[in-house]
Amino acid sequence: MRKEERVERVLNVIDEMFPDAKCELKHKNPWQLLIAVMMSAQTTDKSVNAITEHLFQKYQSVDDFANADLKELENDIRKIGLYRNKAKNIIGICQALIRDFNGEVPKTHKELETLPGVGRKTANVVLSVAFEQPALAVDTHVERVSKRLKLAKKDDTVLEVEKKLCKAIPRQRWIKTHHQLIFFGRYFCKATSPMCLECPLFDICNDPIRLKKKPIEI
């Protein structure tokens, strides 16, 4: 199968499976999204949402976070991983937004990546979700699915995966495909116990899970 055919098939399948895929991090504005995405590193969106439901009620503005007590904020988010570093970054992000961007979330990669704890993936998510700019963020789900479906090589870096996806997928589909690949990886092509037997793309998978035979009962 040619690469173009493989890409088209993958896009068609995930489009049919997850036509309404979207960002699952709860937020009401760009700065809430920015904080939620940064907090989601090495934890689930569900865990972040459980925290931000109360966090965004307590801290209702960029100024509130910028002036937050570090120890108190650590305690507020302590149920998620790396909470100490994330609390420090939240305060740093909001102080930088006030100092450098008039309290507004910037709309370029270069500016976003000057903020504490904000890397390329977070910047891509904010640009695409908050500002509807074409971007294709590569998280653990997108990376895993892309390599399993031979859209990227197993030893490709995250940046290499992103470049290959952006080259192969039409620009106008980047945002939609990002969410659909996440849903496919999160709910179907899981890191462990993927639903291989039900997968419509099993025949082109680069890493199909070998099903172990059940021991014969005597």
| Dihedral class, residue 115 (left if φ above 0, else alpha if ψ from -120 to 50, else beta) | beta
Residue 79 Cα distances to 25, 84, 106, 211, angstroms: 16, 11, 29, 35
Residues 6 or more apart in contact with residue 215 via CB below 8 angstroms? none
197 within 8 A of 203, measured Cβ to Cβ: no
Tokens of residue 199, six digits: 């997968």
Residue 101 Cα distances to 31, 107, 182, angstroms: 12, 10, 31
Active site members: 121, 139
Nearest to 162 by CA among 143, 187, 181, 180: 143
51 within 8 A of 39, measured Cβ to Cβ: yes
Residue with tokens 């890493």: 207
